[in-house]
């Protein structure tokens, strides 16, 4: 069996480390067509089960645009976006 290479532009989620070297996963959800729901990028801490998940609404409100942003954004950009996110209630 060979290792399959994943194209980052087709990835459904991204993992990155914040400034404190804590691993997070980011993924896109929401933004259903013909509804008022906007696309959101969610952040889940992979190391601390007590850290609440966080979210931020993507400015385009579009799932495809939010997914493209997630796939192409630098890790530093994701850390910045994480800093602007709100805890999931």
Task: Tell me the per-residue pLDDT of 50-78, one tens digit each, with 9 for 90 and over.
Answer: 999 999 999 988 888 999 999 999 999 99
In a domain, 13, yes or no: no
In a domain, 58, yes or no: yes
Rounded CA-CA distance 24/33 in Å is: 28
Rounded CA-CA distance 21/32 in Å is: 34
- For residue 65, the enclosing domain spans 24-87
In a domain, 3, yes or no: no
Rounded CA-CA distance 24/79 in Å is: 9
* Tally of domains in the chain: 1
* pTM for the full predicted model: 0.83
Edge to edge, the sheet with strand 86-87 lists: 13-17, 23-30, 39-45, 54-57, 86-87
Least reliable range by pLDDT among 3-12, 31-40, 53-62, 74-83: 3-12
Which two three-digit tokens encode residue 53?
């998940």
């Amino acid at each position: 069996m060979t290792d399959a290479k994943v194209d980052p532009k087709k990835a459904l989620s991204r993992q990155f480390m914040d400034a404190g070297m804590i691993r997070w996963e980011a993924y896109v959800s929401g933004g259903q067509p013909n509804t008022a729901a906007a696309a959101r990028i969610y952040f889940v801490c992979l190391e601390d089960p007590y850290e609440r998940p966080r979210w931020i609404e993507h400015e385009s409100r579009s799932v495809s645009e939010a997914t493209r942003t997630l796939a192409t954004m630098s890790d530093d950009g994701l850390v910045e976006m994480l800093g602007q996110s709100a805890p999931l209630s």
